Amino acid sequence: MQFITKEGLDLPITGAPKQTIEEGNPVSSVAILGMDYVGMKPKMLVVEGDKVKLGQALFEDKKNPGVIFTAPGAGTVTAIHRGEKRVLQSVVIALEGGDEESFQAYSAEELPSLTTEQIKQNLVASGLWTSFRTRPYGKTPDIDAAPRSIFVTAIDTRPLAADPVVIIKDRSEDFTNGLAIIAKLTAGKTYLCKAIGADVPAGNTASVEVAEFTGPHPAGLPSTHIHLLDPVNADKSVWHLDYQSVISVGALFVSGRLNVERVVALAGPAVTEPRLIRTRLGANTDDLVKGQTNDDENRVISGSVLYGHEAADWSAY
């Protein structure tokens, strides 16, 4: 099915990235930012100075028992930043070594026979459960919840964004495996939302339905897709997640390892060579942009230029 949206706006910002992937600068630290998780209240499982493995539990959500947040890298917890009323701002890890937790792995042939419980257990243990967001409310779902449907966002109409096709092409098997796995979490449809004509593989899972969109921003936002395909209300919830999280899910279940690789756009008027760079989840943005801009007096934004956050001090991730 196809949808053409006419309302919206594509902002004419210079510095669009070349849609080829290159290796980004190495980073010295990674972090989890509390503001990325609406309503989350952490019960800390580590303290500053602790050595942690990639995939090790850092904290649990008191308001959502059983939901854990895991380390996006191996090393030492160097800072746990808190704001007013002790709200968690960030947990920073100085990267060191390659120690990592291992998780349950399955062969590709076993994936179709996995139960919902097996899938939930692996997603929760690895921390990938926190990739899902509910609509309404935008929170991490309860472990025992079941959505009416799931939306995978494989289109990006935000200014200066990476083309999902380029990123998925390198990881197509992980992506289709991830789709098949998350589709088992709902009795309804799993909607793969992409641009019209975009070469994004959907796999062969019967409950995965492709929906194509074109138009100015916000044609690529999950809120647009949900409104058109399966509108929510106070008594009806759906979930959504982004395409790179789906890739990580697919990689986890086949390898038993937490995949934290991410491809991001390094772009904007001050960037000397706008392009896509391969880095890692929670990467230090100061390291990523070092030597990449034409002026030292720049404001770095992590995320979309429309609603990302200023990357400075405790939030430079």
Q: How far apart (Å, rounded) are the C-alpha atoms in residues 238 and 280?
A: 28
So what's the pLDDT on residue 4?
Answer: 98
So what's the pLDDT on residue 297?
Answer: 85
Q: Which two tokens stand for residue 251?
A: 């990689």
So what's the pLDDT on residue 125?
Answer: 99
So what's the pLDDT on residue 296?
Answer: 75
Per residue in 149-169, pLDDT (tens digit) is: 999 999 999 999 999 999 999
DSSP assignment string, 176-242: HHHHHHHGGG-SS-EEEEEETT-----TT-TTEEEEEEESSTTTTSHHHHHHHHS--BTTB-EEEEE
Per residue in 14-63, pLDDT (tens digit) is: 999 999 999 999 999 999 999 999 999 999 999 999 999 999 999 999 99
Q: How far apart (Å, rounded) are the C-alpha atoms in residues 60 and 185?
A: 22
Residue recorded with tokens 């969109």: 213
Q: Which two tokens stand for residue 4?
A: 């053409």
Q: Which two tokens stand for residue 128?
A: 């990938």
Bridge partners (DSSP) listed for residue 51: 76
Q: Which two tokens stand for residue 76?
A: 């030492």
So what's the pLDDT on residue 226?
Answer: 99
Q: How far apart (Å, rounded) are the C-alpha atoms in residues 11 and 19?
A: 18
So what's the pLDDT on residue 231?
Answer: 98
Contact indicator for 131, 185 with CB cutoff of 8 Å: no
So what's the pLDDT on residue 213?
Answer: 99
Rg (CA), the chain: 19
So what's the pLDDT on residue 200?
Answer: 99
Report the chain (317 residues): mean pLDDT per 10 consecutive residues: 96 97 99 98 99 99 98 99 97 98 97 98 99 98 98 99 98 98 98 99 97 98 98 96 99 99 98 98 98 90 96 98
